[in-house]
């Protein structure tokens, strides 16, 4: 069985306080995008994990796909599988690629071995693998709070709008990015701000990682400014960076403008 593990963007990301467990409470709208990895799971005589595509730093035995399998294996009599990950979504990019891989492995195992796990049960397993992971179980636009793993429906549809994602070939570690932020409560209610016309979002809908990271990496505000110059309705960095996205009325072709970087474009669903 094969699954396309898609990435996400954060539309607005408020980092409101540091929690006693060392994590941060956030408020953010998570929105799925089509840039995807491919995960394949087939029954086998012994467990194996392999990957191709982008090189994944670190020990393959600690890959989030393997961790997802081990998590379910501890509670269910799972047969061995051969798992392959075709890694396409850039890493350290703020798009939750690894989290999505893990969530899709949970869903694939649930379907393949008829574990009958509910959405809530799958989300609870996913929460144990990473803060971003649970979002990818339902994989639809959500307003997220606490560690980014508690969800509320949001009335927001960007269906048919164009999205351009620019990854400036810069790996930013999530833990380091959080360590560089001073959390701050804000007067802007993100849910209300997102009900405004998209052209007004630039004044209200902010990613709190931008301040610090934009100073450290000038290429990031440059890309954001360029996206506005070529007609973005809204542009922002996603997550803890380094990808910067622009939302457009229609999908533009901007490969040439951002040619040294890795660019993906498509339609929002
Ligand atoms: C920046 C975002 O991508 C926004 O969606 C996420 O908050 C990051 O989620 P993630 O990559 O799944 O992060 P995790 O694997 O859970 O945590 C990595 C590290 O980021 C920090 N972390 C993460 C999430 C959070 N709400 N507060 C944090 O302080 C912690 O230092 C943690 O050790
Ligand atoms: N399936 C996977 N895909 C990517 N990275 C993985 C995966 N499994 C484990 N990792 C580890 O996670 C690290 C990347 O985590 P990091 O949070 O910086 O980026 P990310 O998972 O791409 O998502 P984001 O950029 O949104 O945080 C990699 O350096 C790698 O060691």
Q: What is the pTM of this model?
A: 0.97
The yes-or-no answer on residue 55 being catalytic is no
Distance CA 166, CA 195 (A): 26
Domain boundary at 126, 153, 180, which? 153
Is 133 in the same domain as 232?
no
How far apart CA 144 and CA 85 sit, in angstroms, is 27
Angle CA 210–15–63, to nearest 5: 85
Q: Are residues 219 and 89 in the same domain?
A: no
CATH number, domain of 25, equals 3.30.230.10
Query: Are both 112 and 197 inside the same structural domain?
Result: no
CB atoms within 10 A of CB 60: 13
Triad 24, 94, 23: Cα angle to 5°: 15
State yes or no: is 73 an active-site residue.
Answer: no
Q: Do residue 68 and residue 170 come from a single domain?
A: no
Please give the C-alpha separations between residue 247 and each of 5, 30, 162, 218, in angstroms, as whole numbers: 21, 14, 6, 21
d(CA 226, ligand 2 centre) in Å: 27
- State whether the beta carbon of 197 lies less than 6 angstroms from ligand 2: no
Write down which residue in 109, 125, 153 finishes a domain: 153
Going from the C-alpha of 8 to that of each of 89, 108, 168, 200, the distances in angstroms are 10, 19, 17, 22
**pLDDT for 72:** 98
- Identify the pLDDT of residue 253: 82
- pLDDT tens digits, residue range 58-73? 999 999 999 999 999 9
Q: Is 6 in the pocket of ligand 2 (CB under 6 A)?
A: no
Locate 228 and state its tokens: 């506005």
Domain count, the chain: 2
Predicted-complex ipTM score: 0.96
Q: Which atom of ligand 1 lies nearest, measured to the CA of 209?
A: 1
Residue 241 CB coordination number (10 Å): 28
Residues 189 and 148 in one domain: no
Structure tokens that stand for 146 in this block: 């606490």
Considering the domain architecture, whether residues 137 and 227 belong to the same structural domain is answered as no
Question: Which of 105, 133, 153 finishes a domain?
Answer: 153
Contact of 231 with 252, CB cutoff 8 Å? yes
Same domain, 167 and 144: no
* Ligand 1 centroid to residue 248 C-alpha, Å: 28
Of ligand 2's listed atoms, the one at least distance from the Cα of 62 is 9
Task: Tell me: do 64 and 191 sit in the same domain.
Answer: no
Which pLDDT score, from 0 to 100, does residue 31 have? 98
- The domain containing residue 204 runs over which residues? 162-267
pLDDT at 254: 85
166 and 239 in a single domain? The answer is yes
Both 185 and 146 in a single domain? no
Which CATH number covers residue 262?
3.30.70.890
- Separation between Cα atoms, residue 111 and residue 140, nearest integer Å: 19
**One domain, residues 132 and 176:** no
Q: Same domain, yes or no, for 38 and 140?
A: yes
pLDDT, residue 206, reads 98
Contact 143, 109 (CB under 8 A): no
Local mean pLDDT, 10-residue blocks, the chain (269 residues): 98 98 98 98 98 97 98 98 98 98 98 98 98 98 98 96 98 95 94 97 98 97 98 98 97 88 96
């Amino acid at each position: 069985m094969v699954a396309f593990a898609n990435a996400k963007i954060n539309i607005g990301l408020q980092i409101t306080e540091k929690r006693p467990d060392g994590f941060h409470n956030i408020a953010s709208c998570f929105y799925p995008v089509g840039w995807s990895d491919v995960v394949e799971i087939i029954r086998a005589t012994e467990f194996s994990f392999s990957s191709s595509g982008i090189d994944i730093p670190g020990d393959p035995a600690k890959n989030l796909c393997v961790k997802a399998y081990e998590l379910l294996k501890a509670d269910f009599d799972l047969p061995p599988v051969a798992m392959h990950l075709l890694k396409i979504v850039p890493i350290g990019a703020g798009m939750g690629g690894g989290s999505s891989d893990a969530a899709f492995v949970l869903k694939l195992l649930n379907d393949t071995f008829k574990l009958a796990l509910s959405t809530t049960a799958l989300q609870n397993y996913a929460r144990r693998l990473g803060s971003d992971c649970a979002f990818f179980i339902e994989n639809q636009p959500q307003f997220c709070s606490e560690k980014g793993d508690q969800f509320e429906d949001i009335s927001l549809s960007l269906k048919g709008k164009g999205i351009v994602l620019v990854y400036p070939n810069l790996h930013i570690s999530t833990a380091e990015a959080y360590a560089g932020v001073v959390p701050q409560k804000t007067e802007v209610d993100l849910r209300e701000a997102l009900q405004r016309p998209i052209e007004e979002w630039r004044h209200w809908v902010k990613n709190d990682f931008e301040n610090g990271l934009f100073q450290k990496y000038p290429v990031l505000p440059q890309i954001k400014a360029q996206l506005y110059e070529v007609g973005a309705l809204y542009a922002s960095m996603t997550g803890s960076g380094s990808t910067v996205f622009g939302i457009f009325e229609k999908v533009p072709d901007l490969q040439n403008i951002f040619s040294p970087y890795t660019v993906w474009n498509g339609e929002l669903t």
